[in-house]
């Protein structure tokens, strides 16, 4: 009997321990910085914040209490640990503890683009003169890479810079290729919720793709299933790469992200590429990515971050702190073309990466639209009737991540082909997806006409012709529908996103992955096409590295300014860049414009910001002294300094919230062009808005000379324009046009 009771007691203890284990959660603990704690004593100091050992903590792994997962020291003072609710509450009351952040998981913001951006090989091009980003280190936070891929070969690469302090975790993995003069560092960060011993080898394909887009070396004869053939390279093909695996497949723990950022700063990277979606609304002192990247900026590191893939919803932009470059996604002029021809002779162009040689060109097959009945599942081809066998099926998009699956469903029902039509909000943005059957992705306008044709005739038919790679597709560039839109909820008075880069159907290096199971066994698939702000972000990271290589003394703000003020607002046909509906794209969709690298390396004037310049702006946000302290790690008394509005920050764009009174803002520019340069102000605004610039002429006697000016904005008429207004201030010299967007938000945004 006693033995039985003992067993019951033991089981009860084990159950209690198990429940305690289950109730523990992961937290990032943000601490008050201390100057008297040396590097060798940091972890011991962090452990001093942990509660004393309890039966539950003993069950969790020993007398040291809850396990510390990471100790942070470069981008955040604090640590990550597993705590029960009671332990977390107790820690919040400890002196020196600023805030606890529960673990959250952030999603990934998932050959021709160098040429489309004007990057050409040759002795006369700035790309060659810059050494292709030579000597600059790009730190990439993502899913790791496939190090054996030829894009990561080190032909023509110099050795790592002397400042480099990073480590390589590939060397113990047989057959991976290891580190070299291209990939000079690689580390994996796995929190308690994932495999903590996993190497930094890519298990999703995403990191390999983004890393090669930023800084992949030259690889000839690159293509995807015979499409988009050419020489593949990143934007900075001779820059070094440092890989920080902080995501496993599509899950990115905030604890791992902060650890990766901490390591990147310690290791000595120059540029951080961050293709991970982040909060679209948290104020900055609650946003660990914003806090960590502020410290990176303090160390002189340029941060390029994805705007997110939640467009076209207004106010969906993420990674919106003004010390980051926030990157939107646009198209290029390359299409993997398909053409749908209806039985009545109408033709509609679309796209598909599936380009069979023996296709149905000219063969009219029965065409059916299961969604005509109004059933939403049938409209998206989630379910299909049995009579689709041998027919071309019209399906409405269920979202960009489900396009291939929709084709797989049609294929499973023995359909002969699929026409995938956009939903209304997706407009004209079409994807070159790797379908498993003959397919064509068409716009909503085209899809609606096809649906109307099906309804109009008792025996509708269609054929799909495959045209392969087509250059010169128009309009180009345009903003992709999924690209997240401003204004930023955390700081609506700063224009976000900042800029647009190529993010549609981008060909880059590939690693077999479970995220694309249809190709996981295809070792011949060395390159693949992906779309997202994940793809546009490394374009800007690589271009920033090229600028850094040419101008090593420029600050992160000066590089951002060069990119923004030199960007394009006109497409390759010379008309205004369009959004996914083929309407004129707003600055809240594309930022300042579409990146123009050849002009960005020689911008003429730049708007600079030192780390201290952000403090009056943060005070003006109304987050309080503690909020500013959490971001800057400095004791600030906002009441004793002159706080500024968002519009007064020396940013390259201006958001002026006009009500009834005129608003004047001050800006300072630095001459990075020639001595003796003279610039004249040219204002391009709608007639409803009056803009006055004083002085109207800037004369620079010397290089690096700074001059200030004021911009006064007022309504020209008696009634404010409820819809808002957009225009530009241009400083024009014989050699340069330095353009700053001016945005007067709609009345509902101002309110």
Q: Which residue, among 291, 332, 294, 326, has the nearest Cα to 311 in the 3D structure?
A: 326
User: Cα–Cα distances in Å, from 748 out to 358, 662, 721, 722, 723?
Assistant: 55, 18, 11, 8, 9
Tokens, residue 171? 């060397």
CB 204 within 8 A of CB 509: no
Cβ count near 2 (within 10 Å): 6
Mapping DSSP onto H, E and C, the string for 357-420 reads CCCCCCCCEEEECHHHHCCHHHHCCCCCCHHHCCCEEEEECCCHHHHHHHHHHHHHCCCCEEEE
Q: Which residues are catalytic?
A: 142, 206, 534
Q: Which residue, among 422, 443, 431, 417, has the nearest Cα to 356 in the 3D structure?
A: 417
Cα separation, 28 vs 78, in Å, equals 7
The DSSP bridge partners found for residue 654 are 742
Tokens, residue 287? 């946003």
Cα separation, 501 vs 126, in Å, equals 19
Q: Which residue, among 685, 324, 292, has the nearest Cα to 488 in the 3D structure?
A: 324
- CB under 8 Å to 38, separation ≥6 — which residues? none
CB 400 within 8 A of CB 431: yes
Cβ count near 129 (within 10 Å): 14
| Strand intervals (E) in 425-498 | 439-442, 461-471
User: Cα–Cα distances in Å, from 725 out to 97, 453, 651?
Assistant: 45, 40, 19
DSSP-based helix, strand, coil % in the chain, nearest 5 = 25, 25, 45
| Strand intervals (E) in 472-618 | 499-502, 506-509, 527-530, 605-606
User: Cα–Cα distances in Å, from 736 out to 346, 574, 603?
Assistant: 47, 18, 7
Tokens, residue 503? 């993010």
CB 79 within 8 A of CB 100: no
Q: Length of the chain, please?
A: 751
Examine residue 194 and say whether the peptide bond preceding it is cis (omega within 30 degrees of 0): no
Q: Give the chain's radius of gyration (CA, Å).
A: 27
Q: Give exposure, 309-345, as e/b (b: 16+ Cβ within 10 Å).
A: bbbbebbbbbbbbbbbbbbbbbbbbbbbbbbbbbbee
Cα separation, 52 vs 29, in Å, equals 17
164 φ, ψ to 5°? -65, 130
Q: Taking the mean position of all CA atoms in its chain, how far away is CA 79?
A: 26
Cβ count near 501 (within 10 Å): 34
User: Cα–Cα distances in Å, from 741 out to 163, 588, 712, 713, 729?
Assistant: 38, 11, 14, 13, 6
Cβ count near 390 (within 10 Å): 11
DSSP conformational letter for 641:
S
Q: Give exposure, 86-104, as e/b (b: 16+ Cβ within 10 Å).
A: ebbebbeeeeebbbbbebe
Helices assigned H by DSSP within 186-328:
206-215, 254-267, 288-298
Q: Would strands 137-142 and 240-245 be described as parallel, antiparallel, or unpaired?
A: parallel
């Amino acid at each position: 009997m006693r033995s039985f009771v003992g067993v019951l007691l033991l089981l009860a203890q084990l159950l209690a321990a198990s429940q305690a284990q289950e109730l523990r959660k992961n937290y990032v603990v943000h601490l008050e910085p201390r100057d008297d704690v040396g590097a060798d004593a940091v972890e011991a100091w962090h452990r001093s914040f942990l509660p004393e050992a309890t039966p539950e903590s003993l069950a969790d792994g020993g007398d040291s209490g809850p396990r510390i997962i990471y100790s942070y020291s470069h981008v955040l003072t604090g640590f990550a640990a597993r705590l029960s609710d009671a332990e977390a509450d107790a820690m919040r009351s400890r002196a020196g503890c600023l805030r606890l952040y529960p673990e959250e998981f952030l999603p990934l913001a998932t050959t021709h683009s160098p040429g489309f951006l004007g990057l050409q090989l040759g002795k006369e091009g700035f790309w060659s003169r810059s050494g292709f980003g030579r000597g600059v280190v790009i730190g990439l936070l993502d899913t790791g890479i496939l190090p054996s891929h030829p894009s990561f070969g080190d032909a023509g690469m110099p050795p790592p810079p002397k400042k480099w302090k990073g480590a390589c975790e590939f060397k113990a993995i047989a057959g991976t290729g290891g580190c070299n003069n291209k990939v000079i560092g690689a580390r994996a960060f796995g929190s308690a919720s994932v495999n903590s011993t996993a190497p930094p080898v890519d298990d999703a394909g995403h990191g390999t793709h983004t890393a090669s887009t930023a800084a992949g070396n030259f690889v000839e004869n690159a293509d995807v299933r015979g499409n988009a053939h050419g020489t593949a390279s990143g934007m900075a093909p001779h820059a070094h790469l440092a890989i920080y695996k902080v995501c496993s497949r599509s899950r990115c723990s905030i604890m791992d992200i902060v650890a990766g950022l901490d390591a990147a700063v310690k290791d000595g990277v120059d540029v951080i590429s961050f293709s991970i979606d982040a909060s679209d609304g948290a104020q900055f002192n609650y946003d660990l990515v914003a806090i960590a990247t502020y410290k990176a900026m303090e160390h002189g590191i340029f941060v390029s971050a994805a705007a997110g893939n939640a467009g076209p919803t207004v106010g969906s932009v993420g990674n919106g702190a003004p010390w980051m470059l926030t990157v939107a996604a646009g198209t290029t002029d390359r299409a993997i073309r398909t053409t749908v021809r209806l039985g009545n002779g109408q033709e509609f162009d679309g796209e598909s990466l599936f380009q069979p040689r023996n296709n149905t060109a000219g063969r009219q097959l029965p065409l059916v639209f299961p969604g005509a009945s109004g059933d939403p599942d049938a409209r998206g081809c989630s379910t299909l009737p049995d009579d689709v066998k041998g027919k071309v099926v019209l399906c409405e998009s269920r979202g960009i991540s489900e396009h291939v699956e929709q084709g797989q469903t049609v294929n499973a029902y023995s359909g002969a082909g699929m026409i995938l039509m956009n939903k209304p909000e997706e407009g004209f943005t079409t994807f070159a997806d790797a379908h498993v059957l003959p397919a064509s992705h068409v716009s909503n306008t085209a899809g609606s006409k096809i649906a109307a044709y099906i309804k109009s005739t008792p025996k509708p038919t269609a054929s799909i012709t495959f045209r392969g790679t087509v250059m010169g597709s128009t309009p180009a560039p345009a903003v992709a529908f999924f690209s997240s839109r401003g204004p930023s909820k955390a700081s609506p008075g700063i224009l976000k996103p900042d800029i647009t880069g190529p993010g549609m159907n981008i060909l880059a290096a590939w690693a077999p992955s479970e995220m694309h199971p249809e190709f996981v066994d295809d070792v011949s698939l060395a390159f693949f096409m992906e779309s997202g702000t994940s793809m546009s972000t490394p374009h800007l990271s690589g271009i920033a590295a090229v600028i850094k290589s040419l101008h090593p003394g420029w600050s992160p703000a000066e590089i951002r300014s060069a990119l923004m003020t030199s960007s394009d607002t006109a497409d390759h046909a010379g008309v205004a860049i369009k959004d996914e509906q083929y309407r004129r794209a707003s600055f809240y969709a594309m930022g300042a414009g579409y990146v123009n690298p050849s002009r960005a390396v020689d911008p003429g004037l730049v708007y600079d910001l030192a780390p201290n310049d952000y403090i009056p702006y943060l005070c003006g946000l109304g987050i309080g002294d503690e909020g500013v302290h959490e971001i800057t790690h400095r004791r600030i008394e906002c009441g004793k300094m002159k706080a500024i509005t968002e519009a007064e920050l020396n940013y390259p764009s201006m958001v002026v919230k006009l009500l009834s009174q005129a608003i004047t803002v001050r800006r300072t520019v630095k001459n990075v062009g020639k001595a003796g340069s003279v610039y004249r102000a040219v204002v391009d605004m709608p007639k409803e808005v009056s803009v006055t610039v004083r002085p109207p002429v800037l004369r620079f006697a010397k290089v690096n000379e700074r001059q200030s000016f004021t911009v006064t904005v007022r309504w020209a008429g008696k009634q404010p324009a409820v819809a808002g207004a957009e225009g530009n201030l241009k400083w024009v010299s014989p050699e340069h046009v330095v353009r700053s967007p001016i945005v007067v938000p709609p009345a509902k945004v101002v309110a």
